[in-house]
C-alpha cells in the first residue's frame, strides 16, 4: 500500500523518519509531500495513494475524486474539520484522528499565552500574575485537561464547562463546573476556548459572551478561528479597552484588529500549538501505527466517519 504524508506545515525531520520507518517496516511504500503550494500539487501526489496522513491540510471532495484508491485518511492531530467526512464516506474511505497526541503541546502554549497577555506582551508595563486568578475552560477535552493540570501548578482557580463531559469527570480533576457559558465568561479572568469547529459552534462566540468577561480579562483561542464571530469581537474590543484577545488561530480580520487594538491582541504567524518536536513525533507515529493496524486487520478505533 502507498502511504502519503502530505503536510503543508511539515512535521520535524525526526517525526517524518519515524513515520517512514513504521510504514516501511510494515511492508508499505512511503511518500512525502511537504510545503506544497497548491491543492493541485496535493491532488497529483495523492493520485495513487492508498492512505494519507495530513495535519490541517484540506482534504475535500476533489482530493477523493483525484485519489480513487484512498482507503484511509488520518488527521495527525485532534480537529478534523479540514476533512470532508461526507465525501470520504461516499468515496469508501475511513477518516481517523489521533486524539490527545498533541494535547500537551497546545496546553503549554495556552499557559504561555496567558502569561504573555498578563505581562502585556513583555513591554515593561505593570502586568499581573496568573497565580490565584480564575481560569475558565470552554470544553474539557484532552487539551483542556492538560491546561487544567498545568494551571493547578500555578495556583489558578479553574472552572470548566462541557456538554459532552459529565460534571463528575470534570470535578474529579479538581476543576469546578460552570452551569452555563454565560457564567463561565462572566466569572473568569482568563477564558480559554477548546471547542471544535462544527456547524453548531461556528460563529458562536461573539458579543453576548465576550462582553460578559470581567474587567481586565483575557480570551485565549488555540482552537479554531471559525468559532469566533470576528466582527462582534472587534466591536467588544472597541467598547471594552480592558479586554485582551490572544489567539493561535489568526482571525480573518487580523489586520484590522492589529491596527485598532495592537497592544491588546496577539496572533501567532502560523498555527503553532502542536508545533513541537514531541507533538510531531507523538501524532505522526500514532497516525502511522493506525494506518498499519488498519491495513493489517481493519482496526479503526479512532474512526470519525
Q: Which residues bind ligand 3PG (CB under 6 A)?
A: 9, 55-56, 77-79, 102, 271, 273-275
Min CB(243)–ligand 3PG separation in Å: 24
**The 157-161 sheet, strands edge to edge:** 176-177, 157-161, 134-138, 190-193, 218-221, 244-247, 265-267
* Residue bearing cell 508595563: 125
- Select 9 or 121, whichever has its Cβ closest to ligand 3PG: 9
Cα separation, 270 vs 70, in Å, equals 29
Min CB(298)–ligand 3PG separation in Å: 25
Q: Which residue, among 138, 104, 145, 73, has the nearest Cα to 290 in the 3D structure? A: 73
Phi, psi (rounded to 5 degrees) for 42: -65, -45
Min CB(207)–ligand 3PG separation in Å: 25
Min CB(278)–ligand 3PG separation in Å: 13
* Residue bearing cell 485582551: 244
- Select 78 or 237, whichever has its Cβ closest to ligand 3PG: 78
Min CB(53)–ligand 3PG separation in Å: 11
- Select 33 or 130, whichever has its Cβ closest to ligand 3PG: 33
- Report the sign of the C-alpha dihedral through residues 213, 219, 223, 229, in that order: positive
Min CB(260)–ligand 3PG separation in Å: 27
Region class of 203: left (phi > 0), else alpha (psi between -120 and 50), else beta: left
- Select 77 or 136, whichever has its Cβ closest to ligand 3PG: 77
Min CB(235)–ligand 3PG separation in Å: 27
97-100 long-range contacts, Cβ below 8 Å, gap at least 24? 97/302, 97/304, 98/74, 98/282, 98/283, 98/286, 98/287, 98/290, 98/302, 99/141, 99/142, 99/302, 100/142
- Select 209 or 247, whichever has its Cβ closest to ligand 3PG: 247
Question: Where in 2-126 does DSSP place strands (E)?
Answer: 2-7, 29-34, 51-54, 72-75, 94-97
- Select 15 or 213, whichever has its Cβ closest to ligand 3PG: 15
- Select 136 or 284, whichever has its Cβ closest to ligand 3PG: 284
Residues 6+ apart with CB under 8 A from 158: 134, 135, 136, 137, 148, 151, 152, 174, 175, 176
- Select 218 or 247, whichever has its Cβ closest to ligand 3PG: 247
Min CB(273)–ligand 3PG separation in Å: 6
* Residue bearing cell 487594538: 261
* Residue bearing cell 498499519: 292
Report which residue's Cβ sits closest to ligand 3PG.
77
Amino acid at each position: 500500500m502507498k502511504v502519503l504524508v502530505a503536510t503543508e506545515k511539515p512535521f520535524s525531520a525526526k517525526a517524518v523518519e519515524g513515520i517512514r520507518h513504521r510504514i516501511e517496516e510494515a511492508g508499505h511504500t512511503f511518500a512525502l509531500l511537504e510545503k506544497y503550494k497548491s491543492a493541485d500539487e496535493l491532488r497529483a501526489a495523492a493520485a495513487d495513494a492508498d492512505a494519507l496522513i495530513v495535519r490541517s491540510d484540506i482534504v475535500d471532495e476533489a482530493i477523493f475524486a483525484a485519489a480513487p484508491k484512498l482507503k484511509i485518511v488520518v488527521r495527525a492531530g485532534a480537529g478534523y474539520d479540514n476533512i470532508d467526512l461526507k465525501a470520504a464516506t461516499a468515496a469508501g474511505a475511513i477518516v481517523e484522528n489521533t486524539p490527545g497526541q498533541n494535547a500537551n503541546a497546545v496546553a503549554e502554549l495556552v499557559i504561555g499565552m496567558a502569561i504573555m497577555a498578563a505581562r502585556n506582551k513583555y513591554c515593561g508595563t505593570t502586568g499581573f500574575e496568573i497565580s490565584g486568578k480564575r481560569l475558565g475552560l470552554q470544553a474539557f477535552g484532552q487539551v483542556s485537561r492538560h491546561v487544567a493540570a498545568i494551571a493547578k501548578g500555578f495556583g489558578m482557580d479553574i472552572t470548566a464547562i462541557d456538554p459532552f463531559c459529565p460534571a463528575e469527570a470534570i470535578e474529579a480533576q479538581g476543576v469546578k463546573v460552570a452551569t452555563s457559558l454565560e457564567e463561565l465568561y462572566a466569572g473568569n479572568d482568563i477564558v480559554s476556548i477548546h471547542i471544535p469547529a462544527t456547524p453548531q459552534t461556528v460563529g458562536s462566540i461573539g458579543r453576548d459572551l465576550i462582553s460578559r468577561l470581567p474587567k481586565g480579562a483575557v480570551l485565549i483561542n488555540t482552537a479554531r478561528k471559525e468559532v469566533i464571530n470576528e466582527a462582534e469581537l472587534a466591536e467588544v474590543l472597541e467598547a471594552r479597552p480592558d479586554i485582551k484577545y490572544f489567539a493561535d488561530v489568526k482571525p480573518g480580520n487580523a489586520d484590522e484588529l492589529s491596527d485598532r487594538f495592537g497592544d491588546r491582541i496577539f496572533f501567532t504567524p502560523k498555527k503553532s500549538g502542536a508545533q513541537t518536536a514531541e507533538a510531531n513525533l507523538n501524532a505522526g507515529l500514532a497516525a502511522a501505527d493506525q494506518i498499519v493496524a488498519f491495513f493489517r486487520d481493519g482496526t479503526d478505533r479512532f474512526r470519525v466517519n
